[in-house]
Structure formats: C-alpha cells, structure tokens
Amino acid sequence: MYDWLNKPPVHEWYDKDKENTIEEVTERYGPKIKGEKPTDCYLVLYDGRPVAYIQSYLVNDWPEFCLVLN
C-alpha cells in the first residue's frame, strides 16, 4: 500500500497534499487490514498490477458517516 500510494500517478490524484510515510500508511491502513476496524480494503489488480483501491463497510458501523433522513 505504501509503495502504491507513493507512485507518482497515484499520489498526484490521491492524498496529493500530504506525504505518505510508512508510519502514516501503517497507522491509517493497518487497523483495517488487521480487522481491528470494520472496513474491508482491496487493491484492485489488472494484469497483476495494482490499479485502484476500494473499501467497503456497513454504514451503521461508522455512525459519524450516517445520514439521518426524516
């Protein structure tokens, strides 16, 4: 993840205003990868090469992201 985030075409589009140090990437993605946070993370591969990052989660697991509709 660290290597992919720091590739110029990726970094230019994703988190371009911040440095992706190994410590920051480990802190940000480690708990999700280890299953400590209720989020599934995926690197999408094309021809064996990473081309995208996606994640999925239940909105109810992250109440700060829930939108209450009346």
Convert the pLDDT of each residue in 36-53 to its tens digit: 999 999 989 999 998 999
pLDDT value of residue 68: 63
Ranges under pLDDT 70 in the chain: 68-70
Q: Which residues of 30-64 are buried (b: 16+ CB within 10 A; e: fewer)?
A: eeeeeeeeebeeeeeeeeeebeeeeeeeeeeeeee
pLDDT value of residue 69: 54
